[in-house]
Chain A
Amino acid sequence: MTAPGSLLVEVRDLVKHYPGERSWFGLGAPRAPVRAVDGVSFTIASGRTLGLVGESGSGKTTVGRTMLRLQEPTSGKVLFEGNDVFGLDAARLRALRRKMQIVFQDPYSSLNPRMTVEETLREPLEIHRLNGAVSALLDEVGLDAAFAKRYPHELSGGQRQRVGIARALSVEPRFIVCDEPVSALDVSVQAQVLNLLADLQAKRRLTYLFIAHDLAVVRHIADDVAVMYLGKIVEHAPAAEIYAQPRHPYTTALLSAVPEPNPRASKQRIVLTGDMPSPAHPPPGCPFHPRCPHPKKSERCRTEPPPLRPITSGHLAACHYAAEPM
């Protein structure tokens, strides 16, 4: 048992490349590999939440799934309670899976349509020979015990997501990857599910990797925030810091898109031009330079990739001009 505040998960230089397909029905030269995750490192302390934010295709989902070894990495390490996740044999991996769980984005495809809620929740208990009660799990996620006999198609999106959370909780994990758990839900339901996740974290002392595509959702739940762009972390800081003083122009642009409840607040929206480049052909130098709105953008950005370096204590950013943010 790790003490609260001590290191629970450590990701070291994680790389996941998908090999390029060969043209001419497999006879030609292989295309460039897709660099979905390109050297990502971070740590999460026990009981804390790291928000992992990025656009579609930035590699955030791949990070989450590779950490749970649902995909094999190209290189890099993931340490969970000091154990190398990628070095475990089948039996120890199964034991580890009790401790690391995942909640999915799409509540429609995350539940088996042929299984009732009870069957879905009973299965993990069977696999690990646990003595949990389905009704207690349902109660914990705020669902009536009567839902046990229902099939997924009889539930709303929010109810399904609660079942998905109950399934993750069934094996009593310590760490949960929440892969955009509220992105597919109505705004009113989003808040309920976010509150549920926060309550569960407090009650069960859970550690979260909370993946999201915008900073607004993460604000309420994350202690630290890491922003990903093209398979790399471009900024990593405590949540309060990153919202008050973003150091990377990409973070600044993302923050400018967060809705502001006060209509009189002065607010300048930074609209990024163009799309994220293909992860198979990342631009040379800083991966963000083709879209970067920073006034100081220079030749250096086009040629020299900026490393992720500490700007102030605990605040990392990968920008040559992070000391003079926009």
Chain B
Amino acid sequence: MTLGNWFALLVALVVAAEVVRALRHRAVRQERWRRFFRLRTTSWGLGILTFLLAVALAAPLLAPFDPNRQLDIVHLTNRPPSSTFLLGTDPLSRDVWSRLVYGTRVSLGIGALGALVAVALGDGLPFAALVVAIGLTSWFGTSRLVRAEVLSLRQRDFVVAARALGAGSSRVIVRHVLPNAAAPIIVSAALGVGNVLLLEAALSFLGIGVPPPDASWGNMIADGMPSIYTAPWSTFFPGLAISLVVMSLNGVADGVRDALDPREAP
């Protein structure tokens, strides 16, 4: 790690903290934002996600080594964390920290796009193909949820009342059904990002995900797997990153749910 890398990391942390602080400041004045920040986990989740986004954008500044380069296949495999290799090296003598930083781009990108496709479907590059594959297969749960929610809402008296007042289908859907179905859909989508991330990890682990040598958190775990007992750092840190993102998303999803629901007013 060079001084420049440390500085960039510090900047990313400060940016994340500042973004959260600025939003919370705004929350004092606006009812909806106040409800969003009702839970402390929401702030933490938002902070972590902002930080990871900053890391993904500034990856070249944060990574001291080329993530795909095998530094010295004879002498530098499975090195423990040190000041040079912040999180150690993997069995192929690549710097785990650099790979983790670049893997953020792939994993967050696939997660976000995959979930987007998945939610949108509730109605050729290899990367795009993976996004589509994940999106195509993980919309079932969300669409079932959306459908069940809409079916039950359609029977509610306020929807019947809107029809009796002469509201057309589009008005009934936009003003009465969707706002009331939004909370479960958003929570499901947030969980969907987590699921997509885990699915990508599983696919990469099985060797049919992000093709090597490009780093994703999933194939980092796969690469580190053979030496998990002698060099646990090469699997532990990508695993930790995945868990952090999934937990952060849950926190943010809870906040969004509260923000949309007037009944959760503090």
Interface residues of A (CB under 8 A from B): 65, 68, 70, 93-94, 97-98, 100-102, 104-106, 109-115, 123-124, 127-128, 151, 153, 164, 167, 170-171
Q: Which residues of chain B come closer than 8 Å to A100, judged between CB atoms?
A: 164
Evaluate contact between A123 and B167: CB separation under 8 angstroms: yes
Given contacts A109-B156, A113-B180, contact A153 B167 (CB under 8 A): no
Q: Which residues of chain A come closer than 8 Å to B156, judged between CB atoms?
A: 109
Which one, A97, A105, A151, contacts B262 given CB within 8 A?
A: A151
Q: Please, what's the 1-or-0 string for B138-169, where 1 marks a CB less than 8 Å from any CB in chain A? A: 00000000000000000011101111111100
What is the bound-complex CA distance between A217 and B175, given in angstroms? 35
Evaluate contact between A167 and B263: CB separation under 8 angstroms: no
Which one, B161, B165, B261, contacts A104 given CB within 8 A?
A: B161
23 pairs across A/B with beta carbons < 8 Å? A94-B166, A101-B164, A102-B161, A102-B164, A104-B161, A105-B157, A109-B157, A109-B158, A111-B158, A112-B162, A112-B179, A114-B260, A114-B262, A115-B175, A123-B162, A123-B167, A127-B165, A127-B166, A153-B263, A164-B161, A167-B165, A170-B165, A171-B166
* B177 nearest CB neighbor, chain A only: A112
A174 to chain B, nearest CB (A): 14
Evaluate contact between A70 and B164: CB separation under 8 angstroms: yes
Given contacts A65-B160, A110-B157, A114-B179, contact A128 B166 (CB under 8 A): yes
Q: Does B26 contact A (CB under 8 A)?
A: no
B184 to chain A, nearest CB (A): 14
What is the bound-complex CA distance between A97 and B180, given in angstroms? 25
What is the bound-complex CA distance between A110 and B156, given in angstroms? 7
What is the bound-complex CA distance between A98 and B166, given in angstroms? 8
Q: Is the interface of A mostly helix, strand, loop or mixed?
A: loop
Q: Which residues of chain A come closer than 8 Å to B175, judged between CB atoms?
A: 112, 115, 123
* A127 nearest CB neighbor, chain B only: B166
What is the bound-complex CA distance between A115 and B166, given in angstroms? 18
Q: Does B32 contact A (CB under 8 A)?
A: no
B151 to chain A, nearest CB (A): 15
Evaluate contact between B158 and A97: CB separation under 8 angstroms: no
Q: Which residues of chain B come closer than 8 Å to A164, judged between CB atoms?
A: 161
Q: Does B24 contact A (CB under 8 A)?
A: no
Given A112-B176, A123-B167, A127-B167: 12 more A-B contacts, CB < 8 Å: A70-B163, A97-B164, A97-B166, A100-B164, A104-B157, A104-B161, A109-B157, A113-B262, A114-B179, A123-B165, A128-B166, A171-B166
What is the bound-complex CA distance between A109 and B164, given in angstroms? 15
Evaluate contact between B165 and A153: CB separation under 8 angstroms: no
Evaluate contact between A68 and B263: CB separation under 8 angstroms: no
What is the bound-complex CA distance between A151 and B262, given in angstroms? 7
What is the bound-complex CA distance between A104 and B167, given in angstroms? 17
B259 to chain A, nearest CB (A): 12
Given contacts A65-B160, A98-B166, contact A127 B171 (CB under 8 A): yes
